[in-house]
Amino acid sequence: MTLIHQHIAAFLGPGEAVHLARAQLRQSRPAALHDHDFFEMFWVQNGRVRHHLMDRHEDLHEGDLVMLAPGTAHGLQGRGDTTLVVSLAFHPEMIAALATTHPALQGRLFWSGGDTPVRLFRDSRQLAALNQAALALEVGRRDRLGAEAFLLPLCAGLLDDETVLPAGAPRWLATACAATRDPKVFRDGAAGFVRAAGRAHPHVSRTARRFLGQTPSDYVNAVRMDHAARRLTGTTDTLAEIAAEVGLPNLSHFHKLFRAHHGMTPVRFRQQGQRALVQP
């Protein structure tokens, strides 16, 4: 397939460090792939996308976010009438400098050092926040300060959500872990995890035990309880509403799992969080 080379100088004006573009993708397969001398990040804002790489393709859905290092050849294809993607190109010198300033980034995300795209997931609330940040960047400054103001909060949130897997873990397991952050997936429990993995349940269970040290059910329940904790401190929703939201309408079971994960009851957790608030 034809390969087109893109250069950062074609996208950035004087003093700029980031370029943002929105595109409604065509449903036809791309006639050529492209690579670039800059760092690229894109996410699926709406619809479904087929992401073509040199040796394979992968299907992406709303909320999927991909980070690519310079030199990665790829192309995008819409899989519906309303596929919308937001893409950002970052100056390579800025990205390189951030890993020096913030050592926690080294070996992660843009700085993973591999030529395989890093695929992550943002749930509906995180995606809304990401789109708001993109809108602010779109009408604001595009210099290094503006680029870092957009990128660093995103990276901090991604690192908080990231499941670090041992060397040798299959890529599909990382994909399943990322997908499980989506309420549409974790509401279905282990079945949602297995579906995201795209492998037979016994194989997924064996691999999860080996590389995660826990079963798919245990992993999903931990994600559920983290989500429930955020809802308890960030909303006034009832326990029954939150339990149903995470796919556990049985309140007794929800209480048992929450207490095992957080060391206290949901009511106590909410009370403790409310007491920690500093009132004006």
DSSP assignment of 22-66 equals EEE--SSPPSEEEEESSEEEEEEEESEEEEEESS-EEEEETTEEE
Q: Quote the tokens at residue 223.
A: 């994600």
| 9/146 same-domain check | yes
Q: What is the DSSP letter of 110?
A: G
Residue 236, both tokens: 């006034």
Residues 125, 177, single domain; the answer is: no
Where in the sequence is the domain holding 190, given as residue range(s)?
A: 171-275
The tokens for 73 are 């050849």
And the tokens for 55?
A: 């040796």
> For 220-241, what is each residue's pLDDT tens digit?
999 999 899 988 987 889 999 9
- Domain of 87: which CATH number? 2.60.120.810
Task: Return the H-helix or E-strand segment holding 68.
Answer: strand 64-68
Q: What is the pLDDT along the chain (280 residues), one digit of tens a residue?
A: 688 999 999 999 999 999 999 988 888 888 899 999 999 999 999 888 999 998 888 888 888 899 999 999 999 999 877 889 999 999 999 999 999 999 989 888 899 877 778 888 787 778 889 999 999 999 999 999 999 999 999 999 888 766 767 778 887 898 888 888 888 899 999 999 999 999 999 999 999 999 999 999 999 999 999 899 988 987 889 999 999 999 999 999 999 999 999 999 999 998 887 665 544 4
Residues 57, 190 within the same domain: no
User: Which CATH number fits the domain that encloses residue 195?
Assistant: 1.10.10.60
- CA 212 – CA 225 distance, rounded (Å): 17
The angle formed by the CA atoms of residues 100, 101 and 106, to the nearest 5 degrees, is 50
**Polymer length of the chain:** 280
Closest CA to 87 of 135, 149, 41: 41
What three-state secondary structure class fits 71?
Answer: coil
Residues 195 and 265 in one domain: yes
Question: Domain end: 161, 189, 224, which one?
Answer: 161
Instruction: Convert the pLDDT of each residue in 146-181 to its tens digit.
Output: 999 999 999 998 887 667 677 788 878 988 888 888
Q: Which of 161, 196, 222 is the last residue of a domain?
A: 161
Residues 141 and 270 in one domain: no
Query: What's the whole-model pTM score?
Result: 0.66
Residue 166 belongs to a domain:
no
* Single residue among 132, 161, 190 that ends a domain in this structure: 161
Judge contact between 128 and 76, C-beta under 8 A. Answer: no
Query: Is the domain of 229 the same as that of 130?
Result: no
For the chain, how many structural domains are there in total? 2
Q: Are residues 175 and 152 in the same domain?
A: no
